[in-house]
Amino acid sequence: MFMNFWYPAEESRNLTDKPLKVQMLGLWFVLWRDSEGRARCVHNTCTHRGGSLGDGKVVGDCIQCPYHGWKFNGAGSCERIPSLGPLAKVPSRARIDAYPVEERYGLVFVFLGDLPESERPTIMPNNEWGQPGWRSLSMRYRWNINYVRLVENQSDPSHIEYVHAGFGMAGKSTNYEVPKINVEESAWGAGAMVVFYSPDLPDKDMKKLQPEGRNESGSGYHGAASTWTRVNFSPTNHMHIYLYAVPRDELDLEIFLVMQRNCMLEDKYDENFLKRMAIAVEEDRIVVEKLDPQIPSTEAIGEFIVPADDVIMNYRQRLQDWERRGWRLDYETLKRNRGKVAYSVPSPARRQDPQNWAVTAAPVLRSTVSERRRLPTGG
């Protein structure tokens, strides 16, 4: 799992002035809204004796530890240590890590890392959100998988033919072939568009969206755990799907799906779109949760790779790049010391002053990848 990316912690509508304890990257955090309605996020463990701040309460703009009443503001500074008396100066070392928060697309995103603002990866854009002529739908679900498997599944054009009965021909077409993929890269991801032939849509209204039995679709990734899919039913009818995922733990992934469409905009069609999406999600889950190994090698060890996997290979190269930057958490150490050491993902404030902290920074892996290279394909 990687630090230094934006992750969706929760839906905006569910965040109030009450503490909300959430797990991300195998560690625990607490979120709340301050008196001005701003979303805040800090490390969950009190620097005193390990109290769970998420089980405390919000007092003013601070989160108060339920154990000894220590108060921490949204910037992570400790404002009050009751046992020292009302006039005591609070040592700066009593602080905890606090993280940048942004709200977009109905979600609360938290930047779990220590990069300064100018160097941070971006949140995957959803340019259709709130725009005239587009309608948004959302859903969330949770799979027992590693986040890498989600990104690779969403970036895989060849699985649609066999996994998704409503979009593929189930291998019945003797002319089936994935066309040559032209991978287009962006600053923080890559993707490709491909022409698909699919069966007629069962609903008569939805059948009008795709009159020729073909569509141009594509998918790709942005950052460590976000993906996009674009379905062009026709030159004018489009559906875009954005998945913002957060690894709660190594094999526990929560996905927030935001769907945009510019066709059949009446609300009477929402149920149909959501139903079809839920079917596709379940079709993917059944297959992906059973993949072996659960966490694939970034170097394609034990796999025979084909050209249709080019976006996936691009993603694995990016993972190697980010590991070389020191962004990959040492999960084996985190897991081995769980219950013994209260690790905290380092924040921007810790990067500015790395020495003056009580809670131990989460360890990162020292990369064994020496240089960027193109992974082999079997085609």
User: Strand ranges (DSSP E) for 69-130?
Assistant: 71-72, 78-80, 101-104, 107-112
Residue 61 lies in a domain: yes
What mean pLDDT comes out for the span 75-79? 98
Residue 373: per-residue pLDDT: 47
User: Is it the case that residue 67 has pLDDT exceeding 70?
Assistant: yes
- Per-residue model confidence as pLDDT tens digits over 165-212: 766 555 566 677 888 889 999 999 999 998 877 666 666 776 667 666
User: Is it the case that residue 371 has pLDDT exceeding 90?
Assistant: no
Whole-angstrom distance, CA of residue 161 vs CA of residue 170: 5
Domain termination site, one of 292, 314, 336? 314
Residue 274 lies in a domain: yes
* 64 three-class SS: strand
Total number of domains in the chain: 2
- Per-residue model confidence as pLDDT tens digits over 117-150: 999 999 999 999 999 999 999 999 999 999 999 9
Residue 41 lies in a domain: yes
pLDDT confidence of 374, banded at 50, 70, 90? very low
Whole-angstrom distance, CA of residue 268 vs CA of residue 343: 48
What mean pLDDT comes out for the span 38-47? 98
Residue 195 lies in a domain: yes
Cβ within 8 Å of residue 216, ≥6 positions away: 193, 194, 195, 196, 232
Residue 375: per-residue pLDDT: 46
- Per-residue model confidence as pLDDT tens digits over 300-327: 888 999 999 999 999 999 999 999 999 9
Query: Is there a single domain that holds both residue 141 and residue 98?
Result: no
Cβ within 8 Å of residue 159, ≥6 positions away: 153, 287
Q: DSSP assignment of 118-157, as one string?
A: GGPPPPPP-TTTT-TT-EEEEEEEEESS-HHHHHHHHT-G
Query: Is there a single domain that holds both residue 187 and residue 309?
Result: yes
Q: 150 lies in which domain range? A: 135-314
> CA distances (Å), 354 to each of 216, 330, 331, in order?
49, 19, 21
User: Is it the case that residue 100 has pLDDT exceeding 60?
Assistant: yes
Residue 243 lies in a domain: yes
- Per-residue model confidence as pLDDT tens digits over 318-362: 999 999 999 999 999 999 999 999 999 999 999 999 999 999 999
pLDDT confidence of 160, banded at 50, 70, 90? confident
Residue 251 lies in a domain: yes
Q: What is the CATH number of the domain that holds 41?
A: 2.102.10.10
Q: DSSP assignment of 312-368, as one string?
A: HHHHHHHHHHHHHTT-BB-HHHHHHTTTT---BPPPHHHHHS-SS-SSPBPPBPPP-
Residue 244 lies in a domain: yes
Mean pLDDT (the chain) is: 92
CA atoms within 13 A on the CB side of 70: 24
